[in-house]
Amino acid sequence: MRSFCGRVDPAAGASDLAEDSEEYDHHQEIARSCYADMLHDHDRNEKYRQGIFGAVARVKARGQKVIVLDIGTGTGLLSMMAVSAGADLCYAVEVFRPTAEAARCIVEKNGFSDKIKIINKHSTEVTVGPDGDMQMKANVLVTELFDTELIGEGALPSYEHAHLNLVQAGCEAVPHRARVYAQLVESELLWSWTQLQPVEVEGARLVPPPAVVGCAGAHSVCDVQLSQVPPDSFTPLSPVCTMFSVDFSKAVSSAPQCHSSQFVARSSGGAQVVLSWWDLDMDPSGAVVCSMAPSWTYAKPETAPWRDHWMQSVYFLPAERKVKEGEVLSLSVCHDDYSLWYSLQTDSPTDTKMDVLPSRPCCSCRAHLVWNRPRFGEINDRRRTESYVRALRSVLRDDGVCLSVSDGSLLPVYAHMLGAKKVFSLENSRMSKQVVEQVLESNAMKGSVELLEIRADQLTSEHLGGEMISVLLGEPYFSTSLLPWHSLSFWYSRTALAGLLRADATVLPRSATLQLLAVEFQDLWRIRAPCGTCEGFDVTPMDEMVQRSLDFRESREAEPHPLWEYPCRALSHPTEVMTFDFTQCVPEQPISSQGLLPVLRTGRCHGVVLWMEYHLTDDITVSGGLVGPISDQGDCEWSRHRKQGVYFFTSPWDTSGDERAAVSYSFTFDPCEGDVKMAFSMESRDPTP
């Protein structure tokens, strides 16, 4: 079977799929997965341990041999727990071949290979019988098939098949049951992630297209660290409702279903958003519970366990609805075998199984396909828009010809509203072009901006009506960008357009700087931390080969993360390490930068954060990273609209005992690849004279 991996070409502003070679290191994919986070999740591991030990003990008390089926074994940790609890035999099923091979090595390394059989198949392909994968049906079913949405990894079909074919009637199941919770809220912040808001541009009002306002939005779940969404940013309109539960010890159906919960509205407001999470009972009595509830639901928020492999979900109602305090309402959730969606009614339908569900939200306006949720938030950010409008006002000329290079941007619309004579915009796709056209038509501006579905290197003077460009502008934003510096594809477009720029042309932004900050993460470090002996359980869950991937490969490049969801402390001042001058063409030779970043606060330096700041004019800057001053304690406020680059050190550096500690850095921007290479080390800087 052929496999493919994603590849970004920053210089071309494009992404594609590249076929893996036979030598492709899939163990790096294992290292990049959330196994480290799961293995460091002591709360999860301990709850599973208690549930498994209890299930094995109950089967033994009935005088039966304990046969365990572990579906989605991953590293084999839960299977090893089962054997340690006294299970006679464990069938550990893992569909991903490299992970199955790693599990086989780990099981052998820990001395469990005589009682654990690794089966490299999807569980629905597993057979039972003398010549089958399993010699007999299991009487203990252990699974970890859950995602942020609970059922998104195909848990229901897998359970349904297992109960029909792989496990005995009345088997013990760990976890025993799951419950899904939801709360209806009003939130300007969260609603801005799915609905385009009106924009004021120097007294003129730009309104969203009716098709966007009336669109149900994207159907995919919005997974988020809900603990980092401040409670004062939303108004609860309902109590926390239990929407439905699933008993995993009995036959499970993957048939489409709807469930509802009736409640009395706690306050008046606009019903817009549903916050949702779930928990697991690891035993039949419900005494051992593994909860995904956000920290602000806890009496002591600091006691809430942190995890990144399971987060919380945000669902957007198809349309805002006004509700009154005291009104009796019914919140409904529907699900197929992989996803959930919510709706709000005034009556209370009974829970049902059906072949055809009420319609799932689906984007009909195309905007939710062009703009992801952070992008909606970015476009709706009034302060950010004001910065661009002020910058545009300062550079536009009455006879100006503007060209915008960004994906699905409203900057060319603002330029027209501010009086530019002619405005052109390059769009990377027909769909993004259609979305901007909707905005123009809805505001009686059809034809005021000429949208060109071509690349910068394809643009000719004829496309511009023989005119020369006086203002080249961009946010820059490109849907293909993963890391902050990937948006430097704007610079490559500027270079391709050099022959069409007037001698006195203005480029906005004028330049960009790459910023660097040394940090101590509160929790994010766990996703790349070494996984030797699993916390709370005496086995080694990572084999040597996979561990090397985690320790060495992962520390050689930066990763994109939305740091507003992952608190950290700054251990240094933010420092400008590279400058990219957009008034000039991309240089032919690499740009290099080296230096020392003094560490000013004590702590454990887990790595560095990198982001881009775009200098629109001499005095107007827009940041894709820090958006506020660092507090005296080092607390940081990060942009919610862009992901920052995070470079994790192989192991954290303790800075508590060295007043001269510094991070040595080296950066090289390769113009041929459009990418930034980097290296770091911890050093002791010379004492101040």
User: Which active-site residues does the annotation give?
Assistant: 144, 153
In the beta sheet, which residues pair with residue 261?
331
HEC letters along 623-637? ECCECCCCCCCCECC
Q: Hey, what amino acid is at 208?
A: P
What's the CA gap between 334 and 408, in Å, rounded? 32
Report the alpha-carbon angle 618-621-622, nearest 5.
Answer: 155
In the beta sheet, which residues pair with residue 554?
none
Residues 659 and 601: beta-carbon distance below 8 Å: no
Encoding tokens for residue 553?
């490969």
Block residue for tokens 């829970």? 351
What's the CA gap between 176 and 169, in Å, rounded? 14
Residues 448 and 423: beta-carbon distance below 8 Å: yes
Give one DSSP letter per residue of 348-401, joined into a string.
-PPPEE-SSPSPPP--SSSHHHHS-HHHHHHHT-HHHHHHHHHHHHHH--TT-E
Residues 13 and 428: beta-carbon distance below 8 Å: yes
Pseudo-torsion of CA 201, 205, 211, 214, nearest 10°? 110
Strands 604-615 and 591-598: unpaired
What's the CA gap between 490 and 586, in Å, rounded? 10
Of 149, 146, 150, nearest in space to 71 by CA: 146
- What are the angstrom distances between the C-alpha of 528 and each of 129, 472, 556, 678? 41, 41, 12, 18
What's the CA gap between 306 and 153, in Å, rounded? 21
Give one DSSP letter per residue of 520-534, joined into a string.
EESSGGGGGS--SSP
Other Cβ atoms closer than 10 A to 458 = 11
Residues 411 and 473: beta-carbon distance below 8 Å: yes
Q: Hey, what amino acid is at 385?
A: T
What's the CA gap between 632 and 235, in Å, rounded? 31
Residues 69 and 97: beta-carbon distance below 8 Å: no
What's the CA gap between 411 and 392, in Å, rounded? 9
Block residue for tokens 């196994």? 35
Encoding tokens for residue 503?
């001698």
Report the alpha-carbon angle 488-619-419, nearest 5.
Answer: 80
Question: For the packed helices 544-551 and 97-109, what is the interaxial angle rounded to 10 degrees?
Answer: 120
Residues 166 and 69: beta-carbon distance below 8 Å: yes
Pseudo-torsion of CA 480, 486, 488, 489, nearest 10°? -30
In the beta sheet, which residues pair with residue 279?
179, 291
Q: Hey, what amino acid is at 70?
A: D
What's the CA gap between 416 and 392, in Å, rounded? 10
